Amino acid sequence: MAETFPVDSAAKLAMERESAIGFAAWRWAGAAALIAIAVLLPFTLSNYHVFELTQVMIYAIAVLGLNILTGYNGQISLGHGGFFAAGAYTAAILMHRYGVPYWATLPPAALVCFALGVLFGLPALRFEGPYLALVTLAMAVAMPQLLKYFDVLTGGNQGIVLVKPLPPAALGLDRDRWLYFFVLVVLLLAIRVAANLLNGRTGRAFVAIRDHPIAAAAMGINTARYKTLAFGISTLFTGVAGALAAIVIGFVAPESFTLFLSLSFLVGSAVGGIATIGGAIVGGFFIEFVPNFANDISDAAPWAIYGLAMLLFMYVMPRGVVGTLGPWLTHVMQEFRSERHAAK
């Protein structure tokens, strides 16, 4: 009944502010509830399901990396599986050859992938739209070959078998649950970092470059620097996900990092919402669980479903699940609050 209830502007402003505060509180409550569920869930599930959820979170971190580059900065990558592989192999080589403890491999993997991303991002400055997609596609196709070729480091075709990490004895957790919590902490950290980055000055610069590079440059944004930065940060996230995958699965081999890995990240990104943070988690679930159901039909069915999902989401829901439902939910909540306020 907002129309029949005249509000003067000061009151309206106060009302909006209160509603904004209320909304933020709701968001925090929602996030806290989700984290509580994530913490309690592994104690109600079998070891295998816990392992699956760990995989979901790893994929989510990888997709989050892709979202930063492709969704927020508009640079299309079809080759993030390559950076995932770089992270996985960095972790595996450090653990296997140099006896580095598993948790200590994450910072070097992050660093290596950041450096690789920046190096790749520099020539990428000159490639627009489909050309960058092409170069990254070529990298994804060539990756297994490269990994096999440098077999002194990578173990060639056989790959590297790793010792699965032991959980700290004091916690009394078994290995699968310990790794679940280990990955969960990294995921939460990654989301926090991504949110801070993307909601601030850097994120606005990324989006401005995506939407109108010339206008962005005219506003004083150093497009070259921010595009390279976006590349580095994006590959850092994906590389850390790769390192986690190596730790959790305990095995790396060239054939796990084919073009199709890169394309499944893209599917996850498109389904969850390519320019969202929460969409990465939806994407992680999609990548992990669709093959489980579809494999019963045929070996090829998961990829057919991935392909169909890509087409469908592009036609019907180009912003993805989170990109579509998120704003809608916000809108509904605000309507609800202002109506309730008006009714008082």
Q: Does 153 bind another protein (CB under 8 A)?
A: no
Q: How far, in Å, CA of 277 to CA of 291, rounded?
A: 23
Q: Tell me how many residues contact another protein (CB under 8 A).
A: 45
Q: Does 224 bind another protein (CB under 8 A)?
A: no
Within positions 33 to 92, which residues make up the interface with another protein, using CB under 8 A? 70, 74, 76, 78
> In DSSP terms, which residues pair with 330 in a beta bridge?
none
Q: How far, in Å, CA of 31 to CA of 317, rounded?
A: 25
Q: How far, in Å, CA of 229 to CA of 225, rounded?
A: 6
Closer CB to another protein, 3 or 299, in the complex: 299
Q: Does 217 bind another protein (CB under 8 A)?
A: no
Q: Which two tokens stand for residue 305?
A: 């479903």
Closer CB to another protein, 38 or 301, in the complex: 301
Q: Does 317 bind another protein (CB under 8 A)?
A: no
**153, 224, 314, 329: which one contacts another protein (CB under 8 A)?**
314
Q: Does 332 bind another protein (CB under 8 A)?
A: no
Whole-number minimum distance, CB 173 to another protein, in Å? Answer: 38
Tell me the window of 166-174, 302-310, 323-331, 335-343 that interacts with another protein (CB under 8 A): 302-310
Q: How far, in Å, CA of 112 to CA of 242, rounded?
A: 12
Q: Which two tokens stand for residue 75?
A: 């640079």
Closer CB to another protein, 115 or 141, in the complex: 141
Whole-number minimum distance, CB 296 to another protein, in Å? Answer: 13
**115, 141, 193, 317: which one contacts another protein (CB under 8 A)?**
141
Q: Does 266 bind another protein (CB under 8 A)?
A: yes
Q: Cα dist. 317→76, 77, 98, 291, 301 in Å?
A: 19, 20, 47, 22, 22
Cα three-residue angle 181-186-187, rounded to 5 degrees: 95
Closer CB to another protein, 12 or 148, in the complex: 148
Q: Does 146 bind another protein (CB under 8 A)?
A: yes
Is residue 51 within 8 A of residue 66, CB to CB? The reply is no
Q: Does 325 bind another protein (CB under 8 A)?
A: no
Is residue 147 within 8 A of residue 89, CB to CB? The reply is yes
Neighbours of 248 (CB within 10 A): 23
Phi, psi of 250 (to 5 degrees): 75, 20
Q: Does 135 bind another protein (CB under 8 A)?
A: yes
Is residue 71 within 8 A of residue 276, CB to CB? The reply is yes
Q: How far, in Å, CA of 234 to CA of 95, rounded?
A: 24
Q: Which two tokens stand for residue 56?
A: 């979901």
291: burial class by Cβ within 10 Å (0-12, 13-18, 19+)? middle
Give me the amino acid identity at 116: L
Q: Does 299 bind another protein (CB under 8 A)?
A: yes
Binding letters toward another protein, positions 86-125, x by CB under 8 A: -------------------------------------x--
Q: Does 139 bind another protein (CB under 8 A)?
A: yes
**14, 318, 330, 335: which one contacts another protein (CB under 8 A)?**
318
Q: Does 228 bind another protein (CB under 8 A)?
A: no
Q: How far, in Å, CA of 325 to CA of 297, rounded?
A: 30
Q: Does 162 bind another protein (CB under 8 A)?
A: no
Contacts to another protein by CB under 8 A? 70, 74, 76, 78, 123, 126-127, 129-131, 133-135, 137-139, 141-142, 145-146, 148-149, 214, 259, 263, 266-267, 270, 274, 298-304, 306-311, 314-315, 318
